[in-house]
């Protein structure tokens, strides 16, 4: 594995119990350090399943996944401090305030109270949620919850961040705040792996994308090169063609 790779996946398969086809079907893929990578596909394509295997939440049926040249199956303990995970479903406790949630998650990562406070201070301004820290999650809008969900995965400043559909179902302002923040994190050197079915968003954000259809990777590369090669107008059109 090259030193510059953040992720190397070879011949990955995942078949859920009682399923009639694999959710991930022979996926091989490499992501370089510093990439803003988009894993794209329609509902049910296998994006969340792939992401869950990559960050060690579920086990694959077969195949190999290495993060920073460490095996996810056997070296997860060493990998965990380097990665952050922002799930599609909210990870936050609804009855706790945002601050209480962040303090809890910071503690899970083994951070000192002071470190947690510094991280919160740094992120609340950029994400425009400073006034909401003492509000209970249950009383927040989707866009507010998304921003705190994101913060919870970033408290320990991971080298590699996994995000599952971070901007779905929220208003354009919240979307833009999150996008700008992710761009900045990537500029600072964080490798970002994000899943989406929002093709226009992925096209502007990502330097590398892969398109999955029914568990299989149909193409991967730089969005502009893929679009040019296929002779189509944009990523949206490319994906529509691939899904036919
Ligand atoms: N826990 C599970 N048990 C059984 N089947 C599952 C499970 N989770 C997902 N699947 C199935 O695996 C396939 C891939 O699902 P997955 O959630 O990975 O897709 P996705 O691309 O993330 O979709 P979405 O855009 O809707 O989030 C689907 O057919 C889904 O029904
Ligand atoms: Mg999903």
pLDDT at 1 over 80: no
Q: Is the pLDDT of residue 188 over 80?
A: yes
pLDDT in tens, 215-236: 999 999 999 999 999 999 999 9
User: Considering every ligand atom, which ligand is closest to the CA of 46?
Assistant: 1
- Atom index in ligand 1 nearest the CA of residue 165 equals 27
pLDDT at site 204: 93
13-65 per-position pLDDT tens digit: 999 999 999 999 999 999 999 999 999 998 999 999 999 999 999 999 999 99
Q: What is the pLDDT of residues 138-183, one digit of tens each?
A: 999 989 999 999 999 999 999 999 999 998 888 888 999 999 999 9
Ligand 1 site, residue 145, Cβ cutoff 6 A: no
Distance (Å, rounded) from C-alpha 4 to C-alpha 203? Answer: 23
Q: Among 22, 23, 53, 165, which residue has the most ligand 1 atoms within 8 Å of its CB, making it the best to mutate?
A: 23
- For atom 6 of ligand 1, the residue with the nearest CA is 16
Question: What's the pLDDT score for residue 229?
Answer: 95
In ligand 1, which atom is closest to the CA atom of 42?
25
Q: What percent of the chain lies above the pLDDT cut of 70?
A: 99
Q: Which two tokens stand for residue 107?
A: 């503690």
State which residues have CB under 5 angstroms from ligand 2, the bound ion: 47-48
Q: How many residues does the chain have?
A: 244
Domain residue ranges of the chain, discontinuous segments joined by +:
34-55+82-242
Q: What is the DSSP letter of 195?
A: E
Report how far residue 103's alpha carbon sits from residue 133's, in angstroms, rounded to the nearest whole number.
Answer: 11
Distance (Å, whole) CA 155 – CA 143: 19
Residue 41 CB–ligand 1 contact under 6 Å: yes
CATH, domain range 34-55+82-242: 3.40.50.300
């Amino acid at each position: 594995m090259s030193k510059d790779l953040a992720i190397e996946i070879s011949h990955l398969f995942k078949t859920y119990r009682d399923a009639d086809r694999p959710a991930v079907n022979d996926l091989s893929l490499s992501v370089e350090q510093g990439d803003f990578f988009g894993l794209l596909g329609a509902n049910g394509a296998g994006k969340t399943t792939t992401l869950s295997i990559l960050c060690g939440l579920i086990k694959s049926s077969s195949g190999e996944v290495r993060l920073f040249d460490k095996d996810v199956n056997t070296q997860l303990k060493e990998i965990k401090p380097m990665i952050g995970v922002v799930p599609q479903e909210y990870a936050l406790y609804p009855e706790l305030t945002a601050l209480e949630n962040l303090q809890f998650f910071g503690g899970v990562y083994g951070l000192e109270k002071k470190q947690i406070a510094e991280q919160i201070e740094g992120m609340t301004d950029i994400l425009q949620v400073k006034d909401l820290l003492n509000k209970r999650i249950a009383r927040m809008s989707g866009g507010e919850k998304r921003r705190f969900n994101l913060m919870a995965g970033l408290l320990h400043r991971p080298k590699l961040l996994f995000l599952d559909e971070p901007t779905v179902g929220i208003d354009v302002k919240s979307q833009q705040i999150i996008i700008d923040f992710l761009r900045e994190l990537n500029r600072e050197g964080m490798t970002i792996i994000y899943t989406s079915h929002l093709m226009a968003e992925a096209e502007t954000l990502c330097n590398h994308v892969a398109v999955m259809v029914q568990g299989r990777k149909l193409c991967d590369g730089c969005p502009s090169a893929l679009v040019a090669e296929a002779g189509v107008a944009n990523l949206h059109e490319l994906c529509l063609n691939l899904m036919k």
